[in-house]
Amino acid sequence: MIKIKRVYDLASDDDGFRILVDRLWPRGMSKAKARLAQWMKEVAPSAELRRRFSHEPENWDEFQRTYQLELSAKKDLLGEIKRLEKEKGTVTLVYSARDPLHNNAVVLKAALEKL
């Protein structure tokens, strides 16, 4: 099972294997409080795409299309997450954006579910 969760929400045992999928470390978050098993910044959107999106919902459709294209070139990383899901049972993709509907973890989860 693949889940998504904001890094600022309390971590729980139900999260399973927690992977931070942002390129930048979340502001004000300690490593201990984040309770991450792994930081996979390579799977995050490119810096250019992140800046263009700027977490504005009106840019969401373009962001999704472009990020999916970027992910298509990162099949090895997607495969690694799928392997972890199979091995650990539950993998939670952790992100720091405020918007729970318009963020890279949503797009990444959808791409993983298609595999």
Count: domains in the chain? 1
**pLDDT, tens digit, 9 for 90 and up, residues 62-85:** 999 999 999 999 999 999 999 999
Model's pTM, two decimal places?
Answer: 0.95
What pLDDT shows up at residue 55?
86
Range of the domain at 28: 2-114
CB 55 within 8 A of CB 103: yes
**pLDDT, tens digit, 9 for 90 and up, residues 7-53:** 999 999 999 999 999 999 999 999 999 999 999 999 999 999 999 99
In 3D space, the residue among 92, 91, 47 whose CA is nearest the CA of residue 70 turns out to be: 47
Q: What is the DSSP string of 92-114?
A: EEEE--S-SSSSHHHHHHHHHHH
